[in-house]
A and B are shown apart, each in its own frame.
Chain A
Amino acid sequence: AQSVAQPEDQVNVAEGNPLTVKCTYSVSGNPYLFWYVQYPNRGLQFLLKYITGDNLVKGSYGFEAEFNKSQTSFHLKKPSALVSDSALYFCAVRDMKDYGGATNKLIFGTGTLLAVQP
C-alpha cells in the first residue's frame, strides 16, 4: 500500500539557519511527490512537486526539495529560514492503487510543525 511518513511532529530552527523537513514514502512504481504548507486556520498551499527529471526541485517562497530514490525520501529544504516560514508542512504522494484507472487521489502525511525562532 502507498504511504508517506513525516517522522518529526515539530522542527525548531533559528531564523537565518537552514531548515529541513523530512518525508519518506512507500509506493509501487514511480512516485509523484508533493509538499504543501498550511498557516493557521487556512487551507493548504501547494509548494512544489516531483514527477520526473531533476532530483532537486525548486518551489515557492525559496523552498526546494530533494528526491532520493535509494532512500525513498523527499525532504523539504530552505537555505535560510524566516520567522514567517513558521507553519504546518505536509508531504503527499499520489495514490497509485488505481494506476491506469481514473484517480488523482493524494495520500498525505500527518504534518510537521515548523517553528522558526527570531
Chain B
Amino acid sequence: DGGITQSPKYLFRKEGQNVTLSCEQNLNHDAMYWYRQDPGQGLRLIYYSQIVNDFQKGDIAEGYSVSREKKESFPLTVTSAQKNPTAFYLCASSMGYSRRKSSYEQYFGPGTRLTVT
C-alpha cells in the first residue's frame, strides 16, 4: 500500500449525509483513480484524473463527486444522491500517460470501508 494513504479506514454515516473520503499520494504520480469494490463484482471505476485540475467520469460516477486541486490529493465525496453507498472504496495512482516511459500499473491505497445506515 506504500505511498498512498486513505483515511479513515472505517467510516459510518447516516443516510442523506454527504461524506468525503481522503486520498493522498507521495509518489509524484500524475494520474489518480477512485474505485468501488462490492463482493463478487470486482473493481468499478468511479472517477479518474490524469492531471491536476482535470478529471473524468468512470463507469459509475452518478452520486459521486471529486476534485483535483493538488497533485498529491484526490478526495471523493459520496453524496446523498448515491443510491447504495455502502461499499469498500479504493484509491489508486499511476505515473501517467504524459511520461516518456509510462508505467501503466496502478498502486493502491489501503481502502476505506463506508457503511451508510
Contact = CB atoms under 8 A, between A and B. Distances in A.
**Interaction A to B:** yes
Which bracket fits the contact residues of B? 20 to 34
Interface residues of A, number: 23
A20 interface: no
Contacts of B90: 43-44
Interface stretch (A22-30, A68-76, A108-116): A108-116
Interface of B: 1, 4, 6, 31, 33, 40-43, 45, 48, 50, 58, 88, 90, 92, 94, 96-98, 102, 104-111, 113
Given A34-B104, A43-B1, 18 more contacts: A42-B1, A42-B110, A42-B111, A43-B4, A43-B90, A43-B109, A44-B90, A46-B106, A49-B105, A94-B104, A102-B97, A103-B97, A104-B48, A104-B96, A104-B97, A106-B104, A108-B42, A110-B40
